[in-house]
Amino acid sequence: MPSLIRWDDAQIDLEIEDENIKIEKLHDIINKVQERNFARHRHGFRGTHVKTQAIVKGSMKIASNLPEHLSQGLFSQEGRTFQIAMRYANEPSFLQDDRVPGPRGCGMKVFNVDGAGGFLDAVGERTHVQDFTFNNAPLLELTDLPTTLEIFTLRERYFDDPETLRQKLSERKDKDLQFAPTTLPNQHFMAYTMYSQSAYRYGDYIAKYALFPSSEFQNELTGTCSISQDSSPEQHSEWLREFFRSHEAKFDFRIQLCHDINSQSVEDCSKAWSESEYLFETVAEVTLPKGQDVTNAERRAFWDDHMSLNVWYGLNAHRPLGSVNRLRKTLYQASKKKREEINAIKIKEVSSIDEIP
């Protein structure tokens, strides 16, 4: 097969100018966003992906007989089944009406993880978890650390003035990119293909991840189960609650390997890697069984107030790459600390799926 770029290539993960200063500024901005939400709702939320739609338990089975380039890190444990928990949410930093189109996301926590090379940080070492995050678009309009700082500066400044925010975004050179999320299909969560958007170490190599719906019923939802202005403002959670009463969900966990750093940028997350030129390959199957109450209040409140998810919780073999991911390492910690402060609670280091109601 064509040559693959190694994760430790000298051209990968280069520090940008004033990186730490920019990251510290974003800590302050995200905390201000959290304070604005507290002023509205008297509750401390995350910095983004505020509106929980469902919490779902399931499993992920690693494929057998994977070739060497796919049998890497966690995915080298062929045939092994891991318990997982997933949170589905709207992406914005506020409680968004489901009738408004926009990015949707999910976070996956994989339990009882181990592997060669150890863990990225002490939390992963203590809990033996691997966290993944996804959104329903292959590219991220925030692009890189400098662009993220610019956009979140505007989002915080005009948090209570969406019309002016839209005007300011429309004045940017990348306005089409910034408005791209509003053109995403507003459909059933179980019909979305979910993408990691940013790149990660994949054992010896570099990859992006994605979850592709694989059941016939889920694929039938595409285009036939869309939200309109006549829908409920809570349509997503209502659909998910109804779906999991009688249906299971299945996804192929696929990876897209990096062959060419010129056409597959690690730093610029606004440029999707061509799916026709660089194919996604299946390395595991995710199963979310039917018969569970995925909008259960106790389960939702536990995840919202007592859990955290961070792409830096996991194995060294799946190290996050690029400035957007380096930002996430401490930004998620700052967001977590603010939630603890505002809500007067302690975030738990969850190490077992049985801890989740």
User: 1 is written with which tokens?
Assistant: 């097969």
Q: What pLDDT score was predicted for residue 163?
A: 97
Say whether pLDDT at 2 is over 70.
Answer: no
Provide the percentage of residues in the chain whose pLDDT is more than 70. Answer: 99
Average pLDDT over residues 30-59: 97
Q: What pLDDT score was predicted for residue 260?
A: 96
Long-range contacts at 96-100 (CB < 8 A, ≥ 24 apart): 96/50, 96/51, 97/233, 98/186, 98/227, 98/231, 98/232, 98/233, 98/234, 98/235, 98/236, 98/237, 99/186, 99/227, 99/228, 99/229, 99/231, 99/232, 99/233, 99/235, 100/186
Residues 6+ apart with CB under 8 A from 162: none
Say whether pLDDT at 116 is over 90.
Answer: no
Number of helices and strands in the chain (H, E): 9, 9
Q: What residue type is 244 in one-letter code?
A: F
Note the pTM of the prediction, 2 decimals: 0.96
Residue 107, SS3 per DSSP = strand
Q: For residue 61, which of 352, 284, 353 has the smallest C-alpha distance?
A: 284
CA distance 87 to 110: 12
Average pLDDT over residues 61-74: 98
Say whether pLDDT at 188 is over 90.
Answer: yes
Is residue 50 a contact partner of residue 89, using CB atoms and an 8 Å limit?
A: yes
Q: What pLDDT score was predicted for residue 301?
A: 97
Q: Which pLDDT band, with edges at 50, 70 and 90, does 354 fall under?
A: very high
- Residue that is written with structure tokens 């910095």 in the block: 47
Q: What residue type is 225 in one-letter code?
A: C
Instruction: State the burial class of residue 22 (Cβ atoms within 10 Å of its Cβ: 0-12, 13-18, 19+).
Output: middle
CA distance 91 to 9: 32
- Residue that is written with structure tokens 């890189």 in the block: 144
Q: What pLDDT score was predicted for residue 66?
A: 98
Mean pLDDT of the chain: 97
Q: What pLDDT score was predicted for residue 174?
A: 98
Helix 19-41 to helix 323-343 angle, to the nearest 10 degrees?
Answer: 40
Cα torsion 238, 243, 246, 250: sign: negative
User: 306 is written with which tokens?
Assistant: 């007592």
Ranges of beta strands (E only) in the chain are 52-62, 81-90, 104-110, 130-135, 194-195, 200-202, 205-213, 249-257, 281-288
Q: Which pLDDT band, with edges at 50, 70 and 90, does 45 fall under?
A: very high
Q: Which pLDDT band, with edges at 50, 70 and 90, does 72 fall under?
A: very high
How many angstroms from the chain centroid is the CA of residue 354? 22
Q: What pLDDT score was predicted for residue 1?
A: 60
Say whether pLDDT at 248 is over 90.
Answer: yes
Q: For the segment 327-351, what is each residue's pLDDT rounded down to a tens digit?
A: 999 999 999 999 999 999 999 999 9
CA distance 240 to 97: 16
Long-range contacts at 77-82 (CB < 8 A, ≥ 24 apart): 77/115, 82/110, 82/111, 82/112, 82/113
Say whether pLDDT at 223 is over 80.
Answer: no
User: 295 is written with which tokens?
Assistant: 């909008």
CA distance 136 to 139: 9
Say whether pLDDT at 224 is over 90.
Answer: no
